[in-house]
Amino acid sequence: MRQMGIAPKIVTTWRRPRVVMRAILAQGPREDRALATLLGACVILFIAQWPFHARAAYLDPSIPLEARLAGGLMGAVFILPVLAYALAGASHVVARAFGGKGAHWSARIALFWALLAISPFMLLHGLVAGFIGPGAALSLVGTAVGLGFLAIWGAGLRVAEFEG
Confidence band, pLDDT 50/70/90 cuts, at residue 15: very high
Whether the pLDDT of residue 112 is over 60: the answer is: yes
Reduced 3-state DSSP string for the chain:
CCCCCHHHHHHHHHHCHHHHHHHHHHCCCCHHHHHHHHHHHHHHHHHHCHHHHHHHHHHCCCCCHHHHHHHHHHHHHHHHHHHHHHHHHHHHHHHHHCCCCCCHHHHHHHHHHHHHHHHHHHHHHHHHHHHCCCCHHHHHHHHHHHHHHHHHHHHHHHHHHHCC
Task: Read off the pTM.
Answer: 0.93
Q: What is the pLDDT of residues 35-79, one digit of tens each?
A: 999 999 999 999 999 999 999 999 999 999 999 999 999 999 999
Q: Mean pLDDT over residues 86-95, rounded?
A: 96
Q: Mean pLDDT over residues 88-100, rounded?
A: 95
Confidence band, pLDDT 50/70/90 cuts, at residue 5: confident
Q: At what angle do helices 31-48 and 104-131 cross, to 10 degrees?
A: 10
Determine the pLDDT at residue 53: 97
Determine the pLDDT at residue 2: 61
Confidence band, pLDDT 50/70/90 cuts, at residue 108: very high
Determine the pLDDT at residue 4: 73
Q: What is the pLDDT of residues 115-161, one digit of tens each?
A: 999 999 999 999 999 999 999 999 999 999 999 999 999 999 999 99
* Residue 141, phi-psi category: left (phi > 0), alpha (psi -120 to 50), beta (remainder): alpha
Confidence band, pLDDT 50/70/90 cuts, at residue 1: low
Determine the pLDDT at residue 117: 97
Cα distance between residue 112 and residue 152, in whole Å: 11
Q: Mean pLDDT over residues 89-110, rounded?
A: 95
